[in-house]
């Protein structure tokens, strides 16, 4: 199934002053792409000067022009991407736990209550890891860009996890290092893993129910396709947080013949539908904004 057939829904229409998405088939995937859903992204920010910067589909697409395919160079590539998104060298830290390194940016909020936004940067030996998981890293970096200059109620922790493919090593190490009190202060974790092969979904066996409900609510408001279903035999960094009793969700974009691409030599930049990555970024951004604006107990 080609890109146009997989994601035939990116058509935009102005209705009563709002930009909405409409399903229209038999049109090229990129037909009519414009900035979409500004009202969703701005929700909860009443100050006109305190609204997120919204990345464009073309900006997301540009991040796949030169994907680093060597594991040993991925962390440096992630650091460079965050610097491109506006982070200073002093903003970025590398937290080492034994043999694993997580790249972390902490954005203080009005309170110490914390939202973790994450994606893993490592890949399996085969392929380039463009979908799994450069797509998640791109979405993560652009969520950071959108929120980095905003005043938020909650502290935001952007984390690029290492060694996910070796058994969630980076995320497990992070939650293991948390005290009981620190874990109680984490409101939710939003994980992004493998966008770009279909509409955005939540992995039901790796996600908390209330966060899946939030994702469903936002995608309905955004007028884009959404589903949640288990990924048989799979796991993701959200699971490490759920095991620590922290609400978490994994957003992904796997559909169709994804098993023939992930963890194979076929995981290449040419396989990525960047509109799918863009929509994953927009959904993750909307979720972080909504989580920021309500009490943490709502997600537990």
Could you read off the pLDDT tens digit of each residue along the chain, which spans 300 residues?
A: 223 333 333 333 333 333 333 333 333 332 333 334 444 454 555 555 678 899 999 999 999 999 999 999 999 999 999 999 999 999 999 999 999 999 999 999 999 999 999 999 999 999 999 999 999 999 999 999 999 999 999 999 999 999 999 999 999 999 999 999 999 999 999 999 999 999 899 999 999 999 999 999 999 998 888 888 888 777 999 999 999 999 999 999 998 889 999 999 999 999 999 999 999 999 999 999 999 999 999 999
The residues near 245 (Cβ < 8 Å, ≥ 6 apart) are 183
pLDDT value of position 107: 97
- CA dist 153 and 279 (Å) reads 25
pLDDT at 231: 85
pLDDT for the residue numbered 192: 98
CA–CA separation, 117 and 49 (whole Å): 23
At residue 12, the pLDDT reads: 35
Q: Is residue 125 within 8 Å of residue 72, measured between CB atoms?
A: no
Sequence-distant (6+) residues with CB within 8 A of 1 are: 256, 257
pTM beyond 0.85 = yes
Q: Cα-atom radius of gyration of the chain, to the nearest Å?
A: 18
Distance CA 141, CA 215 (A): 20
Q: How many CA atoms lie within 13 A of 256 on its CB side?
A: 19
User: Quick one: pLDDT at residue 149?
Assistant: 94
DSSP 114: E
> What SS3 state is found at 139?
helix
The pLDDT score that the predictor gives to residue 97 is 96
pLDDT score, position 44? 55
Q: Which residues of 42-59 are buried (b: 16+ CB within 10 A; e: fewer)?
A: ebebeeeeebbebbebee
54, 273, 217, 113 alpha-carbon torsion, rounded to 10°: -60
DSSP 296: G
Task: Output phi, psi for 115, to 5 deg.
Answer: -115, 125
């Amino acid at each position: 199934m080609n890109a146009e057939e997989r994601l035939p829904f990116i058509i935009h229409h102005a209705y009563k002053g709002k930009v909405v998405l409409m399903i229209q088939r038999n049109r090229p995937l990129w037909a009519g792409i414009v900035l979409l859903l500004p009202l969703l992204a701005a929700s909860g920010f009443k100050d006109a000067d305190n609204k997120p910067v919204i990345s464009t589909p073309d900006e997301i697409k540009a991040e796949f022009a030169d994907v680093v395919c060597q594991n040993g160079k991925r962390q440096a590539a992630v650091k460079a991407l965050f610097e491109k998104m506006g982070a200073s060298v002093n903003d970025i830290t590398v937290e080492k736990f034994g043999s694993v390194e997580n790249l972390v940016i902490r954005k203080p909020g009005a309170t110490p209550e914390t939202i973790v936004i994450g994606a893993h940067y490592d890949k399996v030996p085969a392929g380039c890891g463009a979908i799994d998981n450069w797509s998640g890293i791109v979405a993560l970096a652009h969520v950071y860009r959108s929120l980095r200059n905003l005043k938020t109620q909650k502290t935001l922790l952007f984390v690029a996890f290492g060694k996910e493919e070796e058994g969630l090593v980076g995320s497990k190490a992070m939650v293991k290092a948390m005290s009981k009190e620190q874990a109680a202060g984490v409101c939710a974790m939003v994980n992004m893993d493998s966008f770009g092969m279909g509409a955005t979904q939540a992995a039901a066996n790796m996600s908390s129910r209330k966060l899946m409900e939030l994702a469903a609510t936002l995608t309905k408001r955004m007028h884009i396709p959404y589903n949640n279903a288990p990924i048989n035999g799979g796991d993701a960094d959200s699971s490490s947080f759920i095991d620590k009793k922290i609400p978490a969700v994994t957003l992904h974009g796997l559909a169709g013949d994804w098993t023939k691409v992930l963890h194979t030599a076929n995981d290449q930049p040419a396989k990525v539908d960047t509109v799918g990555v863009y929509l994953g970024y927009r959904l993750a951004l909307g979720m972080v904004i909504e989580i920021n604006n309500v009490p943490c107990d709502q997600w537990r």
